[in-house]
Amino acid sequence: MKILFVAGDPKPERWTVPIRAMVPEAEVYVWDPDGPAVNADYAIVWQPPAALFEREKNLKAVFNLGAGIDGLLKVPNLPKDLTVVRLEDAGMSAQMAEYVLHQLLEANREMETYREQQRQGVWKIHRPMKRSEWPVGVMGLGHIGKRVARTLADLDYRVSGWARGQHSLEGVTAYAGPDQLGEFLTATRVLVNTLPLTEETRNLIDYELLSQLQPGAVLINVGRGEHLVEDDLLRALDDGKLLRASLDVFRKEPLPEGHPFWQRKEITITPHISARTLRDATLEQITGKIRDHAQGRPISGIVDTDRGY
């Protein structure tokens, strides 16, 4: 068995050494853009070059080093019949739930107000938060979205979820499809986006959508920057349709110097850190799936490339 690592890491040995330890029967190679084909059986990738699929014609499956596979699907010559496998959780869902909860508490517990009072030496208690006034809607009910929704529901928030298909989740009111999107939005004050990026979801979060949220609305975007129409977000803030936004993903990363988001006090910016890939858990999952696939056993996380997730 031959495994090819294609991720652009300046220190690929951080990945290849444990891969060799976990799959000792395999030969492990690092992608060399100027090298010959290695006739790999499996590739472990992150935003691979098109040259990979021009050179490696015998791949049985490609494993993506992340839950979001839009970067891989952009490769123009990705073979239609190639098995594409996304990363499932690997420690990311708990991180994402923590991040969303933190941003929610920043808003509804008025934490910035208390920090400003500390700077001014002011001791003042504000009105206690009522969870009933902060209904949360989670867009996207994949592995990560479900973890976020369950975490908030367990803390007694009123939580709704919306996805393309039907889902059932204890403590969460589920909505499905375009016909139920409006009902979902009107039940939501805090909108959390965990959707995959597809042609259907690109630019989904626009002024019209944000205008349907409850008064004093908050947006928390941990999906993809391309989900959000940036000018529409600024307009929604200016028009009072939105109270604040917490953004961890952007159309262009790093966020360019001089971008208007930097100057808006209503926008919290973090540099795509809501959930980081945990190397050990990631490799344990991927190598286990490689071994199962090689031995003809079924594996989870296979992507429907036509749907985009």
Active-site residue set: 224, 272
- In sequence order, what DSSP letters do the residues of 43-84 get, joined into one string? EEESS--THHHHH----SEEEESSS--HHHHT-TT--TTSEE
Taking the CA atoms of residue 57, residue 63, residue 67 and residue 69 in that order, the dihedral angle to the nearest 10 degrees is: 0
Rounded to whole angstroms, the Cα distance separating 161 from 176 reads 8
**The residue to which tokens 């208007």 are assigned:** 260
Q: What backbone torsions phi and psi does residue 213 show, to the nearest 5 degrees? A: -75, 165
Rounded to whole angstroms, the Cα distance separating 97 from 112 reads 21
Structure tokens belonging to residue 302:
């296979």
227 contacts 201 by C-beta, under 8 angstroms: yes
Rounded to whole angstroms, the Cα distance separating 56 from 4 reads 10
